[in-house]
Chain A
Amino acid sequence: MYQYLYDLTGSGILSAFIVASFPLVNVLIVVVVGVYLERKVSAHMQDRLGPMRTGWHGSLQLIADFIKLLQKEDISSKDTDKFLFNLAPVLVFTAAFAAYATIPFSSKLIGSEAEVGIFYIIAISGIVVVSILMAGWSANNKYSLLGAMRSVAQIISYEIPTALVVLSIVMLTGTLSLGKMSEMQTAYFWNWNILGGAGFGFTKFLLIPFMVVGFIIIYISTLAETNRTPFDIPEAESELVAGYFTEYCGMKYAMFMLSEYGNMFAVSAIISILFFGGYQSPFGYFGNSLNAHWMIPYEQAFWFLLKSWIFILVQMWLRWTLPRLRVDQLMTVCWKYLIPYAILNLIIIGIISLL
């Protein structure tokens, strides 16, 4: 994509900007469709209909909401730290969007083919944490501060099991680059990492149960990292109003929503790349059988978006099924269960991949 645009326009800066705008458009679509789906999914799970009045089955509801958000008055209370208060929403979205730089949408559409890929994504989430603290502190509100503290404690705890599972995949594939990881799981679905990765032999079958365990661990911990229910104590409505963005309204609030849904998509995409072949089709490509090779990147983008959306839907399903955990239960799940299992899983996968 970058190379094609570079040949077309002859300007590296311009083509880099165009390539970077694709994930941005994707994030906006994820927010619009995601918020609508969240309402519909929650409604149908609770035997309601959800938004029905604006447009067909409430499909224009989001546009109405967006216009409402845009024309809201920008209120901030007197004792907020104005500079940091305004900086935090921008920073939180920048950091959430920065994670998209190394996510391959298809074999042709990838922002940066940097070798450090997944490691970069884990590192950049540290900036999200700092900006959450910034938002919580600058609002000068005890609910905001408590929400920020809870959120940060939760994110940095659950980063450990996430990183351990990522490490086990990195040991198996021998690369940190997300593009190369997807490339390795090519052809059919039995080459996906959840089914032991590419290559045949008895190690592949030995790996399957540990891969499933790794997938469950990383799914739970990324759910906690995005502050979704059952791990949403940072923004527990009954205790903390809305957590670290209690004081925000209008577009600044919308920035937090953007980054939340952007994060949801990003972690779903990462899980689909690590375990479910990323942009690879499970059954081969139409482009190959019809002898139209230009179709393949589009098909890959379709499969990538489909897999990521399936994981987002599972996140929504869990959100409206499970009750919220208490703080001590949250930390127990992380430190007493997920981390020991993740370490054990890492060691076993390491031994198997040496065989």
Chain B
Amino acid sequence: MDFYDIIFYLFAVITLASAFVVVTTRNIIYSAFSLLFTFFGVAGIYVLLGADFIAVVQIMVYVGGILILLLFGVMLTNKITTVEIRTGTANVLPASIAVGILAGSIVTVMMWTDWKSKPGEIPITTTKALGSLLINDYVLIFELLGILLLIALIGAASIARREKE
């Protein structure tokens, strides 16, 4: 087994184990904190795939942004107020059927597809290629996404600022 294989399995185990903790633990704070390791493991797998920029964006957006927002939300409601927020399971049967069908179809597609594989070339960096693609070929989508995010930001600010009558 190659050194990189060991690293890959390490990241895979981190991702899967922490994701398992996220859904199974009863304590919602534990769920939120184990998401950190899930995101980290996914970022590690991105690095192994040669997508360095995406890996850093993964940590930046999910850990630096979303996870902290989530933790703030959970912490300000859990323990400080008397309401104890707990995760629970509901609708076990329909959920397991739906997940089973989804997982089964993904596995079948994966098995049946005739993958065309060739030895991978690890790119030195993806930053420059990504940047020129975003600004040249997909500039309209890029700008539209920017406007969408701006609208969401302004909407959030105006909802938060609304004063009580």
Residues of A within 8 A of B (CB): 12-13, 81, 84, 114-116, 119-120, 122-127, 129-130, 133-134, 137, 140, 145, 149, 152, 156, 159, 176
- Which B residues touch A127, using CB under 8 A? 36, 40, 59, 63
Minimum-distance CB pairs A-B, first 3? A126-B64, A115-B125, A123-B60
User: Contact partner of A130 among B30, B71, B125, B127, CB < 8 A?
Assistant: B71
- CA of A152 to CA of B52, assembled, Å: 26
| B8 within 8 Å of A (CB atoms) | no
> Which residues between 37 and 96 of chain B lie within 8 Å of chain A, taking CB atoms?
40, 52-53, 55-57, 59-60, 63-65, 67-68, 71-72, 75, 79
Given A130-B36, A130-B71, CB of A114 within 8 Å of CB of B64: no
| B124 within 8 Å of A (CB atoms) | yes
A130 touches B33 (CB 8 A): yes
Q: Determine the interface band of chain B, counting residues with CB < 8 A from chain A.
A: 20 to 34
- CA of A115 to CA of B41, assembled, Å: 20
- Which B residues touch A130, using CB under 8 A? 33, 36, 63, 67-68, 71
- CA of A114 to CA of B56, assembled, Å: 11
- Which A residues touch B36, using CB under 8 A? 127, 130
Given A12-B3, A115-B125, A126-B63, 4 more A-B residue pairs with CB atoms under 8 Å apart are A114-B52, A116-B52, A130-B33, A133-B72
B60 touches A126 (CB 8 A): yes
Given A116-B127, A130-B67, A176-B127, CB of A137 within 8 Å of CB of B29: yes
- Which A residues touch B55, using CB under 8 A? 116
- Which B residues touch A133, using CB under 8 A? 68, 71-72, 75
B3 touches A137 (CB 8 A): no
Given A126-B68, A134-B33, CB of A115 within 8 Å of CB of B63: no
